[in-house]
A and B are shown apart, each in its own frame.
Chain A
Amino acid sequence: AQSVTQLDSHVSVSEGTPVLLRCNYSSSYSPSLFWYVQHPNKGLQLLLKYTSAATLVKGINGFEAEFKKSETSFHLTKPSAHMSDAAEYFCVLTNFGNEKLTFGTGTRLTIIP
């Protein structure tokens, strides 16, 4: 069985400060991991993905995530938050071969002006 746990349901940061959204996973096989962002009334947009290449993955809009197998984590970071980053973020897991996506429950990011 595979699962994803997003450790914070809501994160608030001030504009210009760092962002950290935490994700832990459980998988019996080597996972592929993704971060998606969902702005209000919009579809899901892929931020970045890890597929067993480099453990530090860079995505769009200045986001990056580091795959740590020993900690079973895939935390999302950004050095400096922007107002436009306010959205819901989902950590997603899949195992190559079955193509089934398992979503975390989401983290709502609020940016304080």
Chain B
Amino acid sequence: EAGVAQSPRYKIIEKRQSVAFWCNPISGHATLYWYQQILGQGPKLLIQFQNNGVVDDSQLPKDRFSAERLKGVDSTLKIQPAKLEDSAVYLCASSLWGYGYTFGSGTRLTVV
């Protein structure tokens, strides 16, 4: 079974620039998550999708972050404009009805 695919693996941008990350979940997994993991901390949920609908985006900084999951399959997370404190690893995960959560390898973002 193919895993959760994420791209790019690494990204370096200047503050105030925009950036986008892509995630392709495991086929058939209805739930997709984006997590932010700042160095030395545990992952923090940014947004949770069920198919193409948003279940929880309470911790998403909506003034600069946006996410979509068109057609209920792959997803894009965007940051515009980026701040220094957005430097982190962005993890995508998918699951099937609460079982078998699978994480991608993440995208490491550095904002300079």
Instruction: Mark A residues whose CB is within 8 Å of B.
Output: 32, 34, 36, 41-46, 51, 90, 94, 96-97, 99-101, 103-106
* Residue in chain A with minimal CB distance to B108: A41
Q: With a CB–CB cut-off of 8 A, which chain B residues contact A42?
A: 105
Q: With a CB–CB cut-off of 8 A, which chain B residues contact A90?
A: 42-43
| Chain B positions 86 through 104: 1 when the CB is less than 8 Å from some CB of chain A, otherwise 0 | 0000010101011101111
Contact: B101 with A46, CB < 8 Å? yes
Known pairs A99-B31, A100-B45, A105-B42; A43 contacts B101 (CB<8 A): no
Instruction: Mark B residues whose CB is within 8 Å of A.
Output: 31, 33, 41-45, 48, 55-56, 91, 93, 95, 97-99, 101-106, 108
- A-B contact number at CB 8 A: 45
Q: Looking at the complex, which one of A41, A97, A101, A105 makes contact with B101 (CB distance below 8 Å)?
A: A101
Q: Looking at the complex, which one of B31, B56, B104 makes contact with A43 (CB distance below 8 Å)?
A: B104
Contact: A99 with B95, CB < 8 Å? yes
A90 to B40, CA, bound (A): 12
A80 to B104, CA, bound (A): 29
20 examples of A-B residue contacts, CB within 8 angstroms = A34-B101, A41-B108, A43-B103, A43-B104, A43-B106, A44-B43, A44-B93, A44-B103, A46-B102, A90-B42, A97-B98, A99-B48, A99-B95, A99-B97, A100-B45, A101-B101, A103-B42, A103-B43, A104-B42, A106-B42
